[in-house]
Chains A and B, each alone.
Chain A
């Protein structure tokens, strides 16, 4: 399946990212590594896209570029009408602050802040945030508001991380191996939370994983290999995260 075979349903949607010929090269000369080698990709509002691929295929590098954490070597990268390729440090910070929510494999919570405070930290700097309680409620953590990360399980910590990411009502939610450090049961609880957020808030959600089982919950599955998009597959029917198994 190729990109031309995208289902009609997505064409009408608002385009959030437009990626053309995106290239990222690390090192020089013989030590040169082409982490991204001319990626073309469009991502749309409200969709849940799963990026699948083996280690070193370039999926995290792509996430870093679209998340404004890194600048590409070549190519075009548009977020709506903002060209991220030419954005400066301050513009990238503002972009991350207003538009992007991150969820990391190791949660990256601030250990000295409670669940509520970890989320509130974002609501302090965001434009139109929801309350920390509301965000934590969306991930079913209303009962653990005042617990510190050390007092939470891995799955709970990851759900706090999701709440932190969505509290600012971002246009994009970028998740890098969100279940990578979790067992199946806990992983599914986390994916449920992601799915709910995606559906309730209509946030473009990009999930990086090497777990093929997660492909079934996506609107589209983008396969990566050798720094390129290998294939894009649109799921006609999405399954609920709760029914996933691996």
Chain B
């Protein structure tokens, strides 16, 4: 009878349960929303951290994609050349011979001359480069883009096109007039159009580390007008080539071109094989190498200064370097952020789900399979991840669009299109979803392993023991609150470890943005206060007798003048080469100094060359090695010079020699190409007015305006990026701390409520919660600072290009700031959580745990 009854009840129970399950399935999603609503604070914190990582990743990847594709399209549409060459002068017929070189698809020969400018309202002398345009029709290569105004009228006289950067810096519009000294003769020109050129995406004086668009510009005029002014009619001094698309591989190079690699100038002591090998570093196409060699051979007798490919083109290098830096940042930063986010999503979900232990047991008792439960909680996690992804994608889009505007400040593209990097979104989504999945899966698996009946019972009191600290014998000095905290930490070392890791990561990522800021600040100070102590530098149109120094010394306000000699060379070591300028400096110079890694001044010896440490790295050369120096101007000289020192300069790559030694090497007398001057500030205006009148002066670089310019452009942009990163880091720090405190509160609600019931005040109970957090934070912060130092070192060292190198500058201020942010975030989180303590249900503590 009893058995029958049991059977009936079982049967009934089965149906009731089954019915319940049917209803529950549809209600399960409702539970999901309510759970989310209840935990919205934590859910939002997790979503925001995810969003930060994602925004950063999509932002930087989008910027890279935007820059790369915009540049590629621009190059293609405006037929940017592949190989470039400057020379003294050659008859136009030589250009036809260059066109015959196998692998060459197009040739554009023209003139490039330096001019001095007189800009109304500008105190200092300005200079520029004038490029010729064919008298009829568009140039075949390096075509211009007309931003405003009109093209030059055929056969026009006295008209000029102006590069946009210079026009903007000086507020020049079509219709304005500008005075130029062409070959010493002052002429007035009417600006008819504002243009852009793929050759000058980055407009800067050759060799200058930083642009000063106010005092240096690029201009275009009809060939005839330039040629006649400089007595170059029928000749060219500048050449651009386009390579045939099919000649991309070595196999495509006709055998006939290979012997041409032997330099016609007859490099003394160099074997042909070594010459060929030395031409370029590995990535260049054999065909480009062969074409460059042949061009050099053809132009050698016409004062060729060495042809070079895009990878040596100043403007191209700048854009590529920027992309490289962005690439570094787009990997370094977001990887750190996304790992923190993933880590947090994982940790938070697994702890949140632990709190749902009983609920999971109930669902299981109702007959839900583990799979259904995992699916349910995955939905819960994915809602959070999805919110993070949407906010992150929108953030990345918004920030990317804004930062693209910043690049418009540096780089002159017809239009810099913002392109959203969908692949980054996909990658980040994958990381987020994976983190959520692992977090959910582990927690649910743990809960699902228990038989439902057992899981529904309150957890037995956990096993504790006196903490390590107490066992040292100081137990009697410790408060109960402290003991509770210490024992809790020791009982769950993994959880404590996760919290410490989260906090340490949050602290760590706060270090990086400020390291960038401090590093830029250091460059500004180091470059201009330690290395270049002159007030301004003056450049001459051509090498001039050193006596010109006296002329400078007599200008009003000049306190000291130190002449220099700069000449373009090709530097070679082994099979690696670089084209750059050797700076011949005064041996015991007080203005411009060369400093090594340990901040010691490197004295320039009578014989030998000092190079930028970065250049030595590129050439794989060490002090004591013999570098081959090949002149690219004047007499063609190829000779070995010992490398005597490595300069720790931060921008560009340079070689330094003692001025007399350089002139001896060039087999020239005591000539200079410019001077560094110290000028009495009070008389600077007077000095500049006088300087404007000296026809041989080609350019002047005023340190303060360069520094100001740097501050306004690079400095401002780095500050913007730093602000973005700092905001993200702060959000992450806050998110980690807040979530930790909230979950601790939830996990220990019963214990804390009991304390409240037996007479502890809110503050005292808060103390129990906060003590543990404080202990963990105290452990985490030093680790975080260490971790941050590691991140910063890694990321900064990746920003190590030939254009710019960031020194690793770690200041106490930076560490203090990171600590402060974490402290403030922790305090605010603690306050928020303590406010939640008020809502702690004291009555529930009396009941059985649910």
* B755 proximal to A (CB < 8 A): yes
Q: How far is the CB of A161 from chain B (nearest CB, A)?
A: 9
Q: Is the CB of B843 within 8 A of A64?
A: yes
- A residues within 8 A CB of B483? 112-113, 117
- B residues within 8 A CB of A70? 842-843
Q: Is the CB of B845 within 8 A of A112?
A: no
* B750 proximal to A (CB < 8 A): yes
* A98 proximal to B (CB < 8 A): yes
Q: How far is the CB of A26 from chain B (nearest CB, A)?
A: 11
Task: Choose one: B458, B758, B762, B848; the contact of A164 (CB below 8 Å).
Answer: B758
Question: Among residues 57 to 111 in chain A, which have CB atoms less than 8 Å away from a CB atom of chain B?
Answer: 60, 63-64, 67, 69-70, 89-90, 93, 96-98, 100-102, 104-106, 108-111
Q: How far is the CB of B66 from chain A (nearest CB, A)?
A: 55
Given contacts A60-B846, A69-B757, contact A150 B461 (CB under 8 A): yes
- B residues within 8 A CB of A124? 479-480
Q: Is the CB of B480 within 8 A of A104?
A: no
Q: Is the CB of B758 within 8 A of A122?
A: yes
Task: Choose one: B461, B480, B760, B846; the contact of A109 (CB below 8 Å).
Answer: B461
* A216 proximal to B (CB < 8 A): no
Q: Is the CB of A102 within 8 A of B843?
A: no
- B residues within 8 A CB of A126? 759
Task: Choose one: A122, A148, A165; the contact of B461 (CB below 8 Å).
Answer: A148
Q: Is the CB of A93 within 8 A of B759?
A: yes
* A157 proximal to B (CB < 8 A): yes
Q: Is the CB of A104 within 8 A of B845?
A: yes
- B residues within 8 A CB of A104? 754, 845-846
* A149 proximal to B (CB < 8 A): yes
Q: Is the CB of B846 within 8 A of A117?
A: no
C-alpha gap A93/B463 in the complex (Å): 30
Task: Choose one: A98, A110, A120; the contact of B759 (CB below 8 Å).
Answer: A98
Task: Choose one: A112, A151, A157; the contact of B484 (CB below 8 Å).
Answer: A112
Q: How far is the CB of A101 from chain B (nearest CB, A)?
A: 8
Q: Is the CB of B465 within 8 A of A148?
A: yes
* A125 proximal to B (CB < 8 A): yes
Q: Is the CB of A110 within 8 A of B751?
A: yes
Q: Is the CB of B757 within 8 A of A96?
A: yes
- A residues within 8 A CB of B491? 112
Q: How far is the CB of B458 from chain A (nearest CB, A)?
A: 6
- A residues within 8 A CB of B758? 96-97, 101-102, 122, 164-165
* B849 proximal to A (CB < 8 A): yes
Q: Is the CB of A90 within 8 A of B761?
A: yes
B486 — nearest CB in chain A belongs to which residue? A112
- B residues within 8 A CB of A125? 759-760, 764
* A219 proximal to B (CB < 8 A): no
Q: Is the CB of A64 within 8 A of B846?
A: yes
Q: Is the CB of B461 within 8 A of A105?
A: no
Q: Is the CB of A148 within 8 A of B464?
A: yes
Number of interface residues of A (CB under 8 A): 41
Q: Is the CB of A176 within 8 A of B759?
A: no
Question: Among residues 707 to 766 in chain B, which have CB atoms less than 8 Å away from a CB atom of chain A?
Answer: 750-751, 754-762, 764
- A residues within 8 A CB of B283? none
* B693 proximal to A (CB < 8 A): no
Q: Is the CB of A100 within 8 A of B761?
A: no
- A residues within 8 A CB of B819? none
Most chain A beta-carbon contacts within 10 A, residue among B487, B751, B758: B758
Q: Is the CB of B846 within 8 A of A176?
A: yes
Q: How far is the CB of B441 from chain A (nearest CB, A)?
A: 28
B753 — nearest CB in chain A belongs to which residue? A108
* A25 proximal to B (CB < 8 A): no
Given contacts A112-B464, A112-B484, A150-B462, contact A69 B764 (CB under 8 A): no
* A201 proximal to B (CB < 8 A): no
Q: How far is the CB of B473 from chain A (nearest CB, A)?
A: 15
* B449 proximal to A (CB < 8 A): no
Given contacts A96-B757, A97-B759, A113-B484, contact A157 B847 (CB under 8 A): no
A 163-177 to B, binary, CB cutoff 8 A, 1 in contact else 0 = 011001000000010
Question: Among residues 518 to 535 in chain B, which have CB atoms less than 8 Å away from a CB atom of chain A?
Answer: none
- A residues within 8 A CB of B848? 105-106, 181
- B residues within 8 A CB of A67? 757
Q: How far is the CB of A183 from chain B (nearest CB, A)?
A: 16
C-alpha gap A230/B7 in the complex (Å): 40
A 120-141 to B, binary, CB cutoff 8 A, 1 in contact else 0 = 1110111000000000000000
* B488 proximal to A (CB < 8 A): yes
Q: Is the CB of B484 within 8 A of A105?
A: no
- A residues within 8 A CB of B463? 148, 150-151
C-alpha gap A99/B458 in the complex (Å): 29
- A residues within 8 A CB of B762? 89, 93
B463 — nearest CB in chain A belongs to which residue? A150
C-alpha gap A131/B755 in the complex (Å): 19
* B155 proximal to A (CB < 8 A): no
- A residues within 8 A CB of B843? 64, 69-70
* B460 proximal to A (CB < 8 A): yes
C-alpha gap A165/B759 in the complex (Å): 10
- A residues within 8 A CB of B461? 109, 111, 148-150, 157
Question: Among residues 815 to 849 in chain B, which have CB atoms less than 8 Å away from a CB atom of chain A?
Answer: 842-843, 845-849
- A residues within 8 A CB of B464? 111-113, 148-150
B 478-499 to A, binary, CB cutoff 8 A, 1 in contact else 0 = 0110011001100100000000
Q: How far is the CB of B840 from chain A (nearest CB, A)?
A: 11
Question: Among residues 470 to 516 in chain B, which have CB atoms less than 8 Å away from a CB atom of chain A?
Answer: 479-480, 483-484, 487-488, 491
A67 — nearest CB in chain B belongs to which residue? B757
- A residues within 8 A CB of B845? 104, 108
Q: Is the CB of A110 within 8 A of B755?
A: yes
C-alpha gap A117/B754 in the complex (Å): 15
- B residues within 8 A CB of A157? 461
Q: Is the CB of A110 within 8 A of B842?
A: no
Task: Choose one: A93, A98, A113, A168; the contact of B480 (CB below 8 Å).
Answer: A113
C-alpha gap A120/B758 in the complex (Å): 12
C-alpha gap A149/B464 in the complex (Å): 8
A164 — nearest CB in chain B belongs to which residue? B758
Task: Choose one: A90, A105, A164; the contact of B847 (CB below 8 Å).
Answer: A105
A 156-196 to B, binary, CB cutoff 8 A, 1 in contact else 0 = 01000000110010000000100001000000000000000
Q: Is the CB of B761 within 8 A of A102?
A: no
C-alpha gap A105/B846 in the complex (Å): 7
- B residues within 8 A CB of A149? 461, 464
Q: Is the CB of B846 within 8 A of A102?
A: yes
Q: Is the CB of B460 within 8 A of A150?
A: yes
C-alpha gap A168/B750 in the complex (Å): 22
Given contacts A111-B751, A148-B463, A148-B464, contact A93 B761 (CB under 8 A): yes
C-alpha gap A122/B847 in the complex (Å): 21
C-alpha gap A149/B845 in the complex (Å): 17
C-alpha gap A113/B846 in the complex (Å): 19
Q: Is the CB of B754 within 8 A of A96?
A: no
- B residues within 8 A CB of A60? 846-847
Q: Is the CB of B484 within 8 A of A110?
A: yes
C-alpha gap A45/B460 in the complex (Å): 36
B765 — nearest CB in chain A belongs to which residue? A93
- A residues within 8 A CB of B755? 110, 121
C-alpha gap A124/B479 in the complex (Å): 9
| 23 pairs from A and B in contact (CB 8 Å cutoff) | A69-B757, A70-B843, A90-B761, A93-B761, A96-B759, A97-B760, A97-B761, A104-B754, A106-B849, A108-B757, A108-B846, A110-B484, A111-B751, A112-B483, A113-B480, A113-B484, A121-B480, A122-B758, A122-B759, A150-B461, A150-B464, A157-B461, A181-B848
User: What 9 A-B pairs have minimum CB-CB distances, sorted nearest first?
Assistant: A97-B759, A149-B461, A112-B487, A108-B754, A111-B461, A96-B759, A150-B461, A150-B463, A112-B464
B binding-site residues for A, Cβ under 8 Å: 458, 460-465, 479-480, 483-484, 487-488, 491, 750-751, 754-762, 764, 842-843, 845-849
Please give 15 more A-B residue pairs, beta carbons under 8 A apart, in addition to A93-B761, A121-B480: A93-B762, A97-B760, A102-B846, A104-B754, A108-B846, A110-B484, A110-B754, A110-B755, A111-B751, A113-B480, A124-B479, A124-B480, A148-B465, A150-B461, A168-B759
